[in-house]
A and B are shown apart, each in its own frame.
Chain A
C-alpha cells in the first residue's frame, strides 16, 4: 500500500450548514484521509453521519466550509477557470443513490448518457456520438435498442446501470459511488457491484464507495473508513477492520450485521455504542495509528489503552 500513488487527499475537510443561523449542522467535522490510485475506498456509517455529504463535497457539489480536497496534486475547491473545472468534471464522476431520481424523466436514455459527451464536445459527429452511446450501453450490459427509450420503462437495476454509463461517458479516473446499491434489491445489488468491479479492472478506476451495507462494503473495498457524526472514527484495511475492530462504534456496527444462520442469530449479542465511554473533556480526540495502516479516533489515554488491548 505504501508505494501506491495517492490520488485523492482529503485534508481537514469541514462542511457546516446554516453557519451563523443558530442551527449550524456540522455535517462533516474535520476529516482527513487519502485514497490511493486504483483502490476502492469504502465509507460506512449510519444515516446522517456525513458519508454522502463527504462524497458531494469532494466533487464540489457543496462548497467546503474549510479544508482541502487535493486531486492528483490539484486543489478541487477554490477559484477555478472554466477550463480547469471542466477538466476536473471529466476526471471525477459520481453514481447516485436513487436510480429513480437520478435520471431525468423527460430525456431519452441516449440523451442522458450522451450528456457528458455533449458538454465536453467528445464526439465530432452525430454518428460518433451514437456509437459512443451504444458502446457504453453494451459496456453496462444493456441493449442498443434501449437508447431511444425513457427512464420510466426500466427497472431499478437497469436504471442504475444507465447512471453508471452516464458517469463512464466522460472517461473518468475517479468515481464517487454514493450508496449506488442501497435502493436495489439483493440480487440486483450483486449485478451492479460486479459490474463496478469489472469496470474497475478494465479501466483502472478508483472508487469512493459510500454505503451502509457492511457486508457489501467488505466485498468491494480495499480500505474502509467508518464515519460517525461527521468524523472518521476508524480507518483500516477492510480485512483488518473486520477482524480487529478497535473503536467501540465500529464494534457496534459490526455486531449489527445479520447472518443467514438461525443459530447464530439467536445468540447474536448486539453491542450498543455509548458515546459517553469516551472522556474527551481534557483533549480533543485525533486519528492515531494504532497499528500500521489502522487508524482510530482517540485521545492519548485511549490510544495507550487500545495499544495494550491489542498488543500491537
Chain B
C-alpha cells in the first residue's frame, strides 16, 4: 500500500488537527479537592459497615448509660422487698408479648403482687430496679474503660515515646523495667491493692491498671518512634535546627496517632472485660453499687428460675464490647495509609 492510498483510507489530513492548548502555569494544578488526613480517615471509617454499626451501637449504649439512671424513677440502691424478683415489663412493648411482666411459665407476677409500676428489666432478689442498676453498671464499666484509655495515653505514650526517642542506655533500662512489669499478673496486682485498701472497688481496679495496663501501649509507641525517628522528614527537620520538643510534637506524635488511637480503642473493651471478670469472681465492685460484671455474677445464681437477671446485663456488656471492637477494627483500617485509594 503506497502512502497516498494509506492517507486516503484513513482520511487524515492536517486540517483535522488543532494545536493543543498549552499553558505552562496550568500544568502543575491539582484538581482533586484537598482532603486532610482526618477527613480522609473518617470518610473511610464511615464506608465500613461494621464500624458504622459499632459506632451507632456505642452511641446508643452511651446515651442510655448517661441518661437512663437520671430519668429512672428508682435509684440503683432502692430496695423494695415486696417487689422482689419481678420479671421485666415495659410499656408499649408488653403488647407484643415480650417484656409483659409474665415469667417463663406465663405467670403474670405484676397482677398477682398488685404492682402497677413498670420495671423495664425486672427486679432482683432485693427488689431493686434492674434497668437502673444495669445502666449504672454500664457507667462504671465505661468509667473503667475511660481510666484505662487515659492511663494508656498518658503513661504508655509518654514512656514509649521517651524510650524510643532518646534510645541508647535509657531505652535499655526502661525496656528491662517494662519486661519486669509484664511478668506480674494483673490479678496479683489487684489482690495486692485489695489487701492494701482493705476493700475492692473502682479505685483498686484503676490503680492496678496504672501499674501494668500501659505496658503494651508503650511498646507500640516505642516501636513506631524508633521507626519514624530516622525518617528523612525528621532528619530534614533536624538539619533545620528543630528542638526535641518540636520534633516530638510536630513530626513524631502526629504520625504515631493512628496506632495510638487503634490501641486505645482495643484497650477500652479489654479493660471493661477485665473489670467484669473481677466483679464476677468477687474482686471488683461491692454492692450496693453494681457493675455489669457483678450483675451477671448475681444473675448467674438464679439463671434457671429468673433468666432475665443474667440475660440483660450480659446482653449489654456483650454489645458494649462488640461495638468497641467493631469501631477499633474500622479505625485500624481507616487509619492505615496503605488502605488509601
Known: A145-B29, A148-B34, A158-B28. A116 touches B231 (CB 8 A): no
The answer, yes or no, to whether B340 is at the interface (CB within 8 Å) is yes
CA distance A104 to B25 in the complex (A): 26
A105 B239 Cβ-Cβ under 8 A: no
Nearest Cβ on chain A to B266's Cβ, whole angstroms: 22
The answer, yes or no, to whether B254 is at the interface (CB within 8 Å) is yes
Q: Select B232's contact among A86, A93, A97, beta carbons within 8 Å.
A: A97
The answer, yes or no, to whether B233 is at the interface (CB within 8 Å) is yes
Known: A106-B254, A150-B34. A96 touches B241 (CB 8 A): no
Interface residues in B54-110 (C-beta closer than 8 Å to A): none
Q: How many residues on chain A are close to B (CB under 8 Å)?
A: 41
Interfacial chain B residues near A150, Cβ < 8 Å: 34-37
Q: Select A90's contact among B241, B246, B251, beta carbons within 8 Å.
A: B241
Q: How many residues on chain B are close to A (CB under 8 Å)?
A: 27
Interface residues in B318-341 (C-beta closer than 8 Å to A): 337, 340
B30 A149 Cβ-Cβ under 8 A: yes
The answer, yes or no, to whether A230 is at the interface (CB within 8 Å) is no
Interface residues in A140-166 (C-beta closer than 8 Å to B): 141-143, 145-146, 148-150, 152-154, 158, 163, 166
Nearest Cβ on chain B to A163's Cβ, whole angstroms: 7
The answer, yes or no, to whether B250 is at the interface (CB within 8 Å) is yes
Q: What is the interface of chain B mostly: helix, strand, loop, or mixed?
A: helix
A152 B235 Cβ-Cβ under 8 A: no
Known: A101-B233, A152-B340. A106 touches B238 (CB 8 A): no
CA distance A143 to B25 in the complex (A): 8
Interfacial chain A residues near B30, Cβ < 8 Å: 145-146, 149, 153-154
Task: Produce 1/0 per residue, B122-148, CB < 8 A to A.
Answer: 000000000000000000000000000
Q: Select A153's contact among B32, B235, B240, beta carbons within 8 Å.
A: B32
A120 B241 Cβ-Cβ under 8 A: yes
Known: A106-B37, A148-B34. A98 touches B28 (CB 8 A): no
CA distance A145 to B34 in the complex (A): 10
Q: Select A96's contact among B232, B251, B255, beta carbons within 8 Å.
A: B232
The answer, yes or no, to whether A34 is at the interface (CB within 8 Å) is no
The answer, yes or no, to whether B305 is at the interface (CB within 8 Å) is no
Known: A101-B231, A152-B340. A94 touches B239 (CB 8 A): yes
Interfacial chain A residues near B25, Cβ < 8 Å: 143
Give the one of A56, A97, A104, A148 with max B CB within 10 A: A104
B240 A116 Cβ-Cβ under 8 A: yes
A61 B238 Cβ-Cβ under 8 A: yes
CA distance A158 to B236 in the complex (A): 17
B242 A119 Cβ-Cβ under 8 A: yes
A102 B232 Cβ-Cβ under 8 A: yes
The answer, yes or no, to whether A256 is at the interface (CB within 8 Å) is no
The answer, yes or no, to whether B237 is at the interface (CB within 8 Å) is yes
Interface residues in B244-266 (C-beta closer than 8 Å to A): 246, 250-251, 254-255
CA distance A106 to B36 in the complex (A): 8
Known: A105-B255, A148-B34. A59 touches B239 (CB 8 A): yes
B255 A141 Cβ-Cβ under 8 A: no
The answer, yes or no, to whether A85 is at the interface (CB within 8 Å) is yes
The answer, yes or no, to whether A107 is at the interface (CB within 8 Å) is yes
A102 B236 Cβ-Cβ under 8 A: yes
B236 A166 Cβ-Cβ under 8 A: yes
B235 A96 Cβ-Cβ under 8 A: yes
Residue of B with least CB distance to A143: B28
Interfacial chain B residues near A208, Cβ < 8 Å: none
Interfacial chain B residues near A60, Cβ < 8 Å: 239
B37 A146 Cβ-Cβ under 8 A: no
Residue of B with least CB distance to A141: B28
Interfacial chain B residues near A170, Cβ < 8 Å: 240
Residue of B with least CB distance to A151: B233
Q: Select B233's contact among A103, A120, A153, beta carbons within 8 Å.
A: A103
Nearest first, the 3 A-B pairs at minimum CB distance are A89-B241, A102-B232, A106-B254
A selection of 9 A-B contacts at a CB cut-off of 8 Å is A96-B232, A101-B233, A104-B254, A106-B255, A107-B250, A115-B237, A145-B30, A150-B34, A153-B30
